[in-house]
Structure formats: structure tokens, C-alpha cells
């Protein structure tokens, strides 16, 4: 948990392994993966789906969703309208739904701006 706090953002399990290994006591990779999964299952940390780039983790203080830029991969927090789980109703009468995660995907502001700039014909650029 201290590693997640100190690294900040939405690090991957491998980034956490590398950060922890830079300390005084190296921690086995399998231990880091297991602890991350256990903490996510308990709701102490959140797992963010990063698509083909794997899962990312963060401390779970307030339930929220994520935006993932399809160009640069940045992950941004998106406030949940209800602020608690589950925030969506799947309308499965016999199911007990305890969580709904929404992943927004698209271009972040920087990547969208760069794409717009590259779309301007060179003849129009001063």
C-alpha cells in the first residue's frame, strides 16, 4: 500500500515490482501479484483495466471509473455519478451485482490536440 501511495497514479504490477525491488529488501514478483489481487478483492485498492497493456492499480479511497487514452495510454480518473458500487443496473433479476466498472476510451486532450494539428494541411500552417 505504501508503494502504491509513493509511486502514485495507476502503476502496473511490474512497475510496483521494480519500485519495491529498488528498496532494501527485494520482494518476489509472485508475492507482489498475489498481494495486489488480494487487496483488490478486499476493495482496498482498485484495478483499472488498461486493455492490452494489462491491469493498473491504485488506492481505492472513492469509487470511480477510468478514461484510458488509446494513443498514449494515460489513465485518468472519472468520478462516478453515484459515487458507490454498483452504479449501474444490469437488469438481471436473479443476479446479485456488487460492482460495475466503466472504462472510457478515446484520446486525451494532448493526443486529440496533436491529432487535430497533424490533420491541418501544411499549406494552411503559417
What is the pLDDT, as a whole number, of residue 122? Answer: 58
**pLDDT > 70? residue 121:** no
CATH number at residue 70: 1.10.10.10
What is the pLDDT, as a whole number, of residue 125? Answer: 54
What CA–CA distances, in Å, run from 12 to 46, 52, 56, 66? 12, 12, 4, 15
Q: How many domains does the chain have?
A: 1
Which residue in this structure is represented by grid cell 495486489? 36
List, for residues 3-32, the tens digit of each pLDDT value.
888 888 889 999 999 898 887 777 888 999
Q: Alpha-carbon distance 70 to 107, whole Å?
A: 6
Give the cell for residue 38: 488480494
Q: 112 Cβ partners below 8 Å, 6+ apart? A: 106
Q: Alpha-carbon distance 42 to 107, whole Å?
A: 32
Which residue in this structure is represented by grid cell 502514485? 8
pTM over 0.85: no
What is the pLDDT, as a whole number, of residue 27? Answer: 85
- What one-character-per-residue DSSP string does 37-55 give? HHHHHHTSEEEEE-GGG-E
Range(s) of the domain holding residue 80 = 2-124
Amino acid at each position: 500500500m505504501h508503494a502504491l501511495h509513493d509511486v502514485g497514479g495507476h502503476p502496473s504490477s511490474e512497475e510496483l515490482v521494480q519500485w519495491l525491488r529498488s528498496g532494501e529488501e527485494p520482494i518476489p514478483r509472485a508475492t507482489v501479484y498475489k498481494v495486489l489481487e488480494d487487496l483488490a478483492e478486499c476493495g482496498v485498492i482498485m484495478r483499472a483495466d488498461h486493455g492490452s497493456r494489462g491491469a493498473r492499480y491504485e488506492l481505492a479511497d472513492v469509487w470511480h471509473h477510468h478514461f484510458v487514452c488509446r494513443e498514449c495510454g494515460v489513465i485518468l480518473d472519472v468520478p462516478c455519478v453515484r459515487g458507490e458500487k454498483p452504479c449501474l443496473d444490469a437488469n438481471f433479476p436473479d443476479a446479485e451485482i456488487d460492482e460495475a466498472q466503466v472504462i472510457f476510451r478515446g484520446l486525451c486532450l494532448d493526443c486529440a490536440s496533436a491529432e487535430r494539428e497533424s490533420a491541418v494541411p501544411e499549406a494552411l500552417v503559417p
